Amino acid sequence: MVLYHATTARKAKMYNTTGRIVAPVRGFDSVTGALAWACKVGRKVILEIEVEPARVYKLPDHHNAFGTAFFTDTDVTKWTGIFHGEKGFQ
């Protein structure tokens, strides 16, 4: 299953260094939902993460008009950067 995770540039760099995003990992089922959440909370990086469908649970809050929020209770080791609004971020 694919989710979209909103984070900071600092945390994204840490994920790349360690090779994992430590559980619990939250994400939205749509890019638009993740972008809306990122704007609301001041995050500037969106990652597309791969999670095991059997280990994904719907969050009781964090939803918005553009997507539904979920979390996984396992570490994430596969992701792709799809958006960053940080100057100089790689």
Domain boundaries, the chain: 2-84
5 neighbors 27 (Cβ within 8 angstroms): yes
pTM above threshold 0.85:
yes
Pick out the chain residues at pLDDT < 50: none
Residues facing 7 on adjacent strands: 45
Neighbours of 28 (CB within 10 A): 26
Report the C-alpha gap between 83 and 19 in whole angstroms.
19
DSSP-assigned beta bridge partners for residue 83: 46
Task: Tell me which fold the domain 2-84 belongs to.
Answer: ADP-ribosylation fold (3.20.170)
Residue 48: Cβ within 10 Å count? 17
Residue 85: what pLDDT? Answer: 78
